[in-house]
Amino acid sequence: MTHFDTPPILITGMSGGGLSSAAKVFEDKGYYVAHNIPPRAIVDLWKLCKQEETPVEKVAAVTDVRSRMFPGSLMETIDELTALDMKPTVLFLDARDDVLIRRFDSVRRTHPLQGDDTLKVGIQRERQAVAEIRGRSDIIIDSTNLSIHDLRRAIEAAFGEFQNTNQHVTVESFGFKNGSPRDADIVVDVRFLPNPYWIPELRGCRGTDAPVADYVLSQPAAQNFVNNFVAMFSTMLEGYRHEGKNFITVGVGCTGGHHRSVAVAEDIAKRLRANDTLDVSILHRDIARN
């Protein structure tokens, strides 16, 4: 059996950003997941997994700031793995500082870089330490507004079927009142469209429901927007590929993330799926929020 048909995954990011939850998703998908191993050990592990006699077909490693106390850096590890034809897909989990503080407080944990200082100082130190790897990550997921279940859906959307080598596009609807997704590569605002919320019979429906979708997409401005956006985005794909960016997130926002953004995101995803070089997923971040 040929191993590493599926690229290895490197899971990293901010402490409290959701690394453990992300690891669980990959374990459920059949990955062998190694937790908090030093950068140098990642190379040794993946060399071992690549041998034909090993039982591991898919592998992921979780490494956070605690692992970086050992010799070697993640950047060097990625370069070495790439040279060995084992280039990993790097997933970076992030969240706003105030959310990280709240998460640490809720479990009464100290930050690994806090020392004798405040939790906020520890988080700031970590942000500086991970800035370079964040900039080199293939996928960045901001878990600020995500529950554990939302995070699972976001990871599954970002990685598609965990097998596809096409460029992967996640079209994510959201509500601006809950904050725009910081992990989006492109954010568009569809609040210029008439809001179905003000139509009593549509208020309780969502953009995935036919009456709302028909109302939103029947607006001439909606069709013009989707046509122009898909045409523009299509011209960007080759540039993304040239720059090695195979995971792209498009954020589509309206006020609450219930009606307009959902309907438009669904239509954009439908149009993009006509391109057989793309693996397109849809994610509605705020559709269930009040």
**CATH (domain of 146):** 3.40.50.300
Q: Which two tokens stand for residue 59?
A: 């592998």
Model-level pTM? Answer: 0.66
Confidence class of residue 68 from pLDDT cuts 50, 70 and 90?
low
Residue 261 marked ligand-binding: no
Check whether residue 44 and residue 121 sit in a common domain: yes
3-state SS, residue 217: helix
3-state SS, residue 32: strand
Q: What is the pLDDT of residues 133-162, one digit of tens each?
A: 999 899 999 999 888 888 988 898 888 655
Q: Which two tokens stand for residue 194?
A: 């008439």
Residue 67 marked ligand-binding: yes
Check whether residue 101 and residue 206 sit in a common domain: no
Domain boundary (137, 158, 179) is at 158
| pLDDT value at residue 156 | 85
Whether residue 72 is predicted with pLDDT greater than 70 in this model: the reply is no
| pLDDT value at residue 263 | 98
Check whether residue 152 and residue 197 sit in a common domain: no
Confidence class of residue 175 from pLDDT cuts 50, 70 and 90?
very high
Q: How many CA atoms lie within 13 A of 232 on its CB side?
A: 10
What mean pLDDT comes out for the span 168-182?
Answer: 93
Check whether residue 179 and residue 58 sit in a common domain: no
Q: Which two tokens stand for residue 280?
A: 């397109």
Check whether residue 179 and residue 276 sit in a common domain: yes
Check whether residue 63 and residue 135 sit in a common domain: yes
User: Over the chain, what is the mean pLDDT?
Assistant: 88
In a domain, 252, yes or no: yes
Check whether residue 146 and residue 50 sit in a common domain: yes
Residue 64 marked ligand-binding: yes
Domain boundary (136, 158, 180) is at 158
Check whether residue 19 and residue 151 sit in a common domain: yes
Q: Domain total for the chain? A: 2
| pLDDT value at residue 250 | 97
In a domain, 60, yes or no: yes
Find out whether 172 and 252 touch, Cβ atoms under 8 Å.
yes
Check whether residue 154 and residue 26 sit in a common domain: yes
In a domain, 289, yes or no: no
Residue 89 has φ and ψ, to the nearest 5°, of -90, 120
Residue 65 marked ligand-binding: yes
In a domain, 2, yes or no: no
* Structural domain boundaries, residue 69: 9-158
Place of tokens 């996640």: 170
| pLDDT value at residue 111 | 86
In a domain, 178, yes or no: yes
| pLDDT value at residue 1 | 39
User: How far, in Å, CA of 127 to CA of 14, rounded?
Assistant: 7
Domain boundary (158, 193, 226) is at 158
Check whether residue 44 and residue 152 sit in a common domain: yes
Whether residue 266 is predicted with pLDDT greater than 80 in this model: the reply is yes
In a domain, 67, yes or no: yes
In a domain, 76, yes or no: yes
User: How far, in Å, CA of 67 to CA of 39, rounded?
Assistant: 7
Find out whether 101 and 123 touch, Cβ atoms under 8 Å.
yes
Whether residue 38 is predicted with pLDDT greater than 90 in this model: the reply is no
Helices (H), 194-280: 200-203, 210-217, 220-242, 260-272
In a domain, 17, yes or no: yes
What mean pLDDT comes out for the span 72-76?
Answer: 81
Q: What is the pLDDT of residues 179-195, one digit of tens each?
A: 999 889 999 999 999 99
